[in-house]
Chains A and B, each alone.
Chain A
Amino acid sequence: MRSAPFWLPPFLLVFLFVYGAIIWNFVISLTNVSNNLSTIDYTNLDIENYEIAFSGGTPSWARFDVGSYIEPIWNAAQNTIVLMVAFAIICLVLGLWLAILIDRDIRFENTFRTVYLLPMSLSFVVTAKFWAFMYNSEYGLVNLIFEVFGFGPIQIIQNSDIIVGSSMIGIANLDLSVKMAAIVFALIWQYSGYAMVVYLAGLRAIPKEHFEAARVDGASTIRMYWRVIIPQLRTATVSALVVLMVFSLKAFDFIYSLYGSYNPGSSADILATRMVREAYQNSRFAFASAIAIILFVMALSIVAPYLYSQYKRGEL
């Protein structure tokens, strides 16, 4: 324990502000606090907020200034999953593709890499400003491109029309609306460079002989990557996937800045925006804490298996 002076102070800070705060948040989610945070009654604890989160209803602590009926969170939860899956998978595929191409002994490799990663250095607030302009129906570049292909100018970030219906792919209630697709596209623009960097590091770690052995066997380039190289990128894929999925849970900053308000409308509402809106617009603090716990459990269910497997392999 001689090492305690080194790790204990930072650990206490993290333990208080992260883990202590989560436990406290859980306790708050069992109370009825709304409107006034300075007096929280910790004597009456129940799971009413979770019941309302899952099935909707009028809580016992209902306030009439913001409406007494509370919608369940299913819509936001589905949007969260649609955003997470679409964003993470497309980022991975694009990132892998770019990494393979950049790895093919090209000139100006550094320049390409720097440009592809550039959007990631920007704030969500900044990129939301750029994309609000790109998607604008009157002045935006995206509509200009649509016009070239003969579409009229269309609303994008205010458009709730569904482009990929869940009935088409046989899943219940996971629709992708135009505005959600626009958000996913912008986030891919910002974060696919990250997947590329992770894959590039993975590719560089594969011994050169594996490439050459496959060549000698007469495998075509595509076959070589598919059979020999990509299977070896499993670690890179898993770690990039975990990080990207957690990023998507944090997309609040982008959506808030894109719409300039707590409410992006029901077809782009995710748990992260719903939670902040319930707390800081509707002042339903206890209910928002319950949503926060649900969000936390989602993040945990992604991260915990990953950390456990890392631990098993002795990489922690």
Chain B
Amino acid sequence: MSQNESDGGLFEQSWSRISLYAFLLGMVVFYLIPIETGLATSLKTQEAFTGRYPYLPPLQGATFEWWSDAFFSLLDGLINSLILVIPATVLSGLFGSMAAYGLTTISWRGQVGIYSLFVAGIFIPYQAVLVPLTVFWYNIVPIQDWWLESVANGISVFGLFEIPSTFMFLGWELGFQPYHWQLISLIITHTAYGIPICALLFRAHYKKLPDEMVEAARLDGASIRRIYRRIILPLSVPMFAVVFIYQFTQIWNDLLFALILVQNNEAAVVTQQLVDLGTSQSGTNFPLRMAGAFIAALPTLLVYVVFGDKFAKGVAA
């Protein structure tokens, strides 16, 4: 918004400009100083880390030791997080796009009711479903137990047909460990909880698409399936970028679901591992903890720095 400072002399005007920039720069310091302090600290040797002026760069005694320590401590968690985040992001995005298409482009009575249930789902605190999810994933559908059992005996699907155990060994050969199957429950849960926000983002996008295009295709006799594949999906590409970035960040950053659903240490995701990093009995190792925080945050930071405008679009919707 261009503001013409018509009154006030040039002198006065430049002073107000200077104080404006000074304030904005001050806020830059406010938002960056905890991060900068962490970065500086993570590079200091134990001797250089005296606690005085923690924000100063490591002038005497810089080291990458903490970063490599933290990396190897968190490596399993990073891998588990990737195994979780990629499928959950893609699935929730796809389902969200399908839901939004079914509820926007094709109009029918009652779609607002169904859609409101999707939107309300965005705001539900995870606590409201934790106990049922625990019962569900540990006592009713314990995927990991089934997996272990089926490796031994083959699996019977509802008593209808048998999947031989050799098929299960194939997964093993590909590098899947039994504990990875615990992540499946986490993937499904995060997908279900991600669908509402994805549906909201896609619906806002689909509402803006011109009706004529879909109408013309319909007159040409295209089925709704074909319209989705040939017209809507290609036009959704920019929105998929926004949704994937948003979901990737959300799921990577989440702690609570993993804390409750993954009680097997080997399947722990990176946020779970980070909580405990550097808190041994002999006090707290701040350089190691800061390095760990950066390593755990690196994927989302990278995504943010590269696609910052798309992230802003996702959160502002």
Interface residues of A, Cβ cutoff 8 Å to B: 1-11, 13-22, 24-25, 28, 37-38, 40, 98, 101-106, 110, 112-127, 129-134, 136, 138-141, 144, 189, 193-194, 197-198, 201, 203-204, 208, 211, 215, 221, 242, 246, 249-250, 252-253, 256-257, 260, 271-272, 275-276, 279-280, 285, 288-289, 291-293, 295-296, 299-300, 302-304, 307, 311, 316
Contact = CB atoms under 8 A, between A and B. Distances in A.
Nearest to B110: A1
B132 A21 contact: yes
SS class, residues of chain A in contact with chain B: helix
B51 interface: yes
A287 B268 CA distance: 27
Contacts of A16: 192
Interface string B101-139: 111001010011011111111011111111111111011
B255 A256 contact: yes
17 contacts: A2-B106, A2-B224, A7-B98, A7-B102, A7-B114, A13-B188, A14-B195, A21-B133, A22-B132, A25-B131, A133-B34, A203-B1, A211-B1, A253-B255, A292-B130, A303-B120, A316-B119
Nearest to B307: A121
Contact of A18 (B54, B114, B121): B121
A118 B304 contact: yes
Given A7-B98, A101-B24, A299-B124, A15 B117 contact: yes
B99 A11 contact: yes
Given A21-B129, A123-B255, A129-B290, A7 B99 contact: yes
Contact of A250 (B2, B28, B126, B139): B126
Contacts of A203: 1
Interface in B1-31: 1-4, 6, 20-21, 23-24, 27-28, 30-31
Contacts of A11: 99, 114, 117-118
Interface stretch (B156-164, B175-183, B272-280): B272-280
Contact of A40 (B33, B135, B189): B135
Nearest to B305: A114
A116 B31 contact: yes
Q: Which of B6, B96, B114, B253 has the most CB of A within 10 A?
A: B253
B296 interface: yes
Contacts of B289: 129, 132-133
Nearest to A138: B51
Given A125-B274, A189-B30, A296-B125, A141 B37 contact: yes
- Across chains A and B, which 9 residue pairs bring their CB atoms closest together, nearest first? A6-B102, A7-B102, A123-B253, A17-B192, A139-B51, A10-B95, A21-B129, A121-B304, A296-B128
Given A9-B98, A17-B193, A37-B139, A299 B316 contact: no
A302 B129 CA distance: 18
